[in-house]
Chains A and B, each alone.
Chain A
Amino acid sequence: MLKLKSKTTLILFIMLSLFINKAKAELSIDITGAQSAPMAVALPDFSSNNENTKKISEKIGSIIQTDLESTGIFRIVDKFAYIQHFKSANDIPTFVDWQSIAVEALIQGEINKNESGKYKLKYRLWDIPASKEMISNELEFDMNGLRRAAHMIADTIYQRITGEDGYFDTRIVYVSETGTTLKRKTRLAIMDQDGENHKYLTNGLDLVLTPRFSPNMQQITYLSYYNNTPRVYLFDIETGKQKVVGNFPGMTFAPRFSPDGKKLIMSMALNGNSEIYEMDLKTNVVTQLTKHPMIDTSPSYSPDGKKITFNSDRGGNQQIYVMNRDGSGVKRISWGVGRYATPVWSPRGDYIAFTKILGGKFYIGVMFPNGKGERIIAEGWMVEAPTWSPNGRILMYFSQEKPKNPSVAPKTKIHAVDITGYNDRILITPSDASHPAWSPLLTKH
C-alpha cells in the first residue's frame, strides 16, 4: 500500500512538474564554442613575518609560477599591476581591484616559521570573476622539502582549476647521451619534471634504452646491452642495485610495468621472431601472449590493465593492434597511411599515443582506443618514443636532428607537448637526451 502511495505521488509530481515547466518557459540562449587562451592568474608574494621567510616565499612563488606557466594553460599577471597587497592569508581580496586588471584566479598565501624550525604555509585560491573561494589549504615543510612543497601547491591549484590531477611533483627518467657517433655513451639519468635535482643512475659502460618507472616509483625497468646481450633489467632507485629479469633464451626488450606493478610485459625475440610475454614479478612465471609468425612488439597496458596495445607487422606492415590481457581478441586499430609504432595507452584511458613513419618523416600522434580520431601532435626528421604525464595530459618524446656529418652525433632533445598540440617545449638537460619516461605523481605514493 505504501509503495502504491509513493508511486501515485510520483506520478502526480511528474504531471505537476510538466505543468510547471509549461508555465515557466524561460528565455534560453545557446553558446557554442569558446576561446582557449591562457588563464590570467595573479600570484602576489606570500605574506610573511620576517625577511628570511620572505625569501622562502619568493622562491616558492617562483617555482609555482614556473610550474603553472609551463602548462600553457595559465599566465601569471605581472606583479606591477597588482593593486591590493595582502598582509595575511585571512585578508579577503578586493574583487573589484583584481577584476579591473582582468584576473581570473588569485593565489593568496602566508608563510611563517614554527618554533620547531619548520615552515607553515597557508594558501587560498579565489575565482575572481565569481568572487568565490575555490580552495584553502595548509602545509608544513622544512628547507629540504621546499621544492616539493611548491610543486604540491601548484598541483593542487592545477587540479582545482582544470579538474585533472597535476604532474608537477613528478620525476623523469631518460637516457643521457654523450660522445661521437661511433663512441656513444648512454647513461640512465633521473631528474624532477622541471629539470632540477638531476642525477645519473648508471655508469655508461653499456648501451641502455627504454627506461620505464614502476607504478610505486621504487623501480625502473630498462633494456641494457650488458655483455653485448640485450636484456631487460630492473633498477632499484633506493639501493641502486640492478638485476636481469628472468632467464630468457632469447633477447628481451621493450619492457613495461602493469598498472598494479605486479607484472612486467615485454617482447622476446627467438629464432628471428618476436612475441609478447608477461612475467609475474613475484613468482617469475612467464606467459606468452601472442603467437604469430610476424613481429609483435612494444606492448602497453590500458590503465585498467584489461587490454594491451602493441604493434605488429602481421597485416603486411607495422600497425597498431589491441588485444585482451590474456592475448585473445586481437584487433587492428590503425588504418591510416604509413607505419605505426610504439603505442602507449594514456593513463586516463582516452587516447593511445604512437609514432608514425610516413614519407621519410616521423610524427607523434594520438588516436582513440578504437582507432578513430587520429591526430598528429608533433613532427620532425625523427621524433619517437612518446610517454604520458601521469594525468594523461602532456606527451613527452625525443627528437633527433638530421645528421650533417657522419662522425658527429646528431643532437637529441626531449620535448613536452600538450595533447591539444600546443605548447611544445624542450626540456633542458646537461647533455643530449632521449627515451624519456614520466613517473607517477609522487604525492600519491
Chain B
Amino acid sequence: MNFLKKLRFAILLRLRKMPFVIRAFCYYRENTGICLSLMLHLVFFIAITVDFSARPQKKNDVISVPMFTVDLTKVKIAERTNLPPKLVEGKSSGNVTANNPPKVKSLRTSVYSRASANAGSESSASYQAPTGAHLTTGMEKIISNVSSKKSKSTDSLTGLLNSIKNTGNGGSGSASSKPSNAPISPKFKTLLASIDGKADGSGDVPDEIIDNITELANTGIEGGSGGSYMQELTVSEKDMLGIKLRGCWNIDAGVKGINNMLIEVRVYLDTDGKVKDARILDRGRMKKDSAFRSIAESARRAVYICDKKDEESPFRIFPKHYPKQYEDWKTLLLRFNPMNGGIG
C-alpha cells in the first residue's frame, strides 16, 4: 500500500511537469463522446492510409529476377484462342487486304493482342482467332511484374519483344538477319503472327506496335502498380538538368547564412518546354529574410536565364523525349542548394 502511494505520488510529481496531460485527461472526462468520435475518425483514417499488408523487407524477401528468354519451340499451342472477338474484325468484313488493314482500336490489355489483330488482317481474314493466348497472358503477367517493380523501361520492353521476335524468327532465337528456309508449321505461323504481326514471322516490328509499347511503358502499364514514368526520369537526365541549371545560377557567395539556404522554385512549363512562370515557394521567409530573398531571386533568374538558351535550355528535354507526358512535367519543383555542391 505504501508502495502504491509512493508510486502515485511519483506519477503526480511527473505529471506536474506536463500540465497538458492533465488538461487532456480532464477534457476527455468532460467530453467523452466527442473524444471517442475523434479517436474513431483517427483510427479510420489511419486504417485507410496505412498499408498494413506491407511488411518490412527482409533479406530473404529480395528476389533477383533473372533474364528470361522464351523458347517458342517448346510452347504448346492450343487450337483455339480466347482473344477478344473485337480484334478479329477482319473476319466480319471478309475482304481485308494487306493494303487495306482493318482499323484497330488501341487496347491496353496487351501489346501482343494488338499485334495479333494486325496479323489477322494480313495473314488470314477468315482465320478463326489465332492461338497463343496463354502466352499472351503470361507476357501480361511478366510486364505487369516489370511495371510493378518500376525497374524496366521502354528499352527493356522493346528488347523483350525483339528477343521474342528473334526466337521466332530462326526457331532458335539467334538468326534474325538470316531468314530460315525451313518450312514453318501453320500453327507456329499463327503464334508468330500473334506476337510479331507477320504471318511468316520474318518481318520487323511495325512502328505502330513500338509506339504502342512506348506509350504503354511511358504512361504506366495497366494492371501494374502504375505511376508515371516521369517519376523515373533517369539519374543522368536529372543530373543533366541540375548541371545546366547550376550553370545558369549566379549567386553572391558572401551572403550571410548562405550555408542554411534551400530555395524551392516551382516552374510552370508550356508544351514546348518553355517557362511560363517561375515562383519562389517560401514567401514567408522571402519577406522576413532579405539575404534569403536575394538568393531566392537569383535562383528564379537562373530558371529564366536557362530558358532563354532555346535549344540549350534544360527544359527542352521534356518535349523532345517525353512529348506525351506533358501532364507529368508541366510543373517542376526545383530545389536550389547553393553550398552543397560548391561554388564555381
Contact = CB atoms under 8 A, between A and B. Distances in A.
Given A73-B252, A164-B255, A164-B256, A26 B301 contact: no
Contacts of B299: 31
20 contacts: A11-B38, A28-B335, A29-B241, A29-B242, A29-B245, A31-B334, A31-B335, A31-B341, A33-B246, A34-B246, A34-B341, A39-B252, A104-B250, A130-B304, A162-B255, A162-B291, A163-B290, A163-B292, A418-B254, A420-B253
A127 B297 contact: yes
Interface string B272-305: 0000001000000000011111110111111011
B308 interface: yes
Contacts of B329: 27
A51 interface: no
Interface string A373-410: 00000000000000000001100000000000000000
A306 B6 CA distance: 46
Given A15-B45, A163-B293, A34 B334 contact: no
Interface in A145-197: 159, 161-164
Given A15-B45, A28-B332, A36 B230 contact: no
A30 B337 contact: yes
A31 B305 CA distance: 15
Which size bracket describes the interface of B in this complex? Answer: 35 or more
Nearest first, the 4 closest Cβ-Cβ pairs linking A and B are: A33-B341, A32-B341, A163-B294, A129-B304
B102 interface: no
Given A31-B246, A31-B335, A25 B231 contact: yes
Contacts of B45: 15
Interface of B: 31, 34, 38, 41-42, 45, 49, 230-231, 233, 238, 241-242, 245-247, 249-257, 266, 278, 289-295, 297-302, 304-305, 308, 328-329, 331-344
Contact of A32 (B304, B305, B337): B337
Given A130-B297, A392-B256, A34 B249 contact: yes
A34 B334 CA distance: 14
A375 to B, nearest CB: 12
Contacts, number: 138
A316 B155 CA distance: 70
A343 B242 CA distance: 41
Interface in A7-51: 8, 11, 15, 18-19, 25-37, 39
Nearest to A349: B256
A320 interface: no
Nearest to A12: B41
Contact of B242 (A31, A127, A393): A31
B340 A33 contact: yes
Given A29-B334, A130-B301, A35 B49 contact: no
Given A34-B344, A163-B290, A27 B231 contact: yes
B254 A130 contact: no
B332 A29 contact: yes
